[in-house]
Structure 1
């Protein structure tokens, strides 16, 4: 499912126009991004939690030359599924 499929599905489920559903999806993305950028997390009870994982600096290897190379520290967005979502998938 891509973004336009998601917008269409939300519009149908919520009985709203595709334009309003698209505004909702865009706003949802923006709110999640802003909260994660500021170091927070978004918890949707039963669905899951969006947060940021810290990755430490480490040494990797160049696959072509097999020489060691530094990999800098970084942050990565992460999603942890909630119990209700896991249960729904495993039925």
Structure 2
């Protein structure tokens, strides 16, 4: 089990999730963040990404690396981390 409540209190975790989602998209399509100047371009990029299995798998693997704690077995937090109320 993952202590989601505490993880989402950590701004670095939120930034890591955001970057894990968007950087594979930008890299695959050869874009920079400066090129996404309208909501239409963002939604078009997302639509293209979810219809492309390769890009979708890149995003899933990138998110996996952001969420997974390599110091524990499986996808879970340590017993100590499960008791946290705030990130340490």
TM range (shorter): under 0.3
> TM-score, normalization: structure 2?
0.28
Structure with greater helix percent: 2
Structure with greater strand percent: 1
> TM-score, normalization: structure 1?
0.27
Q: Which has the larger radius of gyration?
A: 1
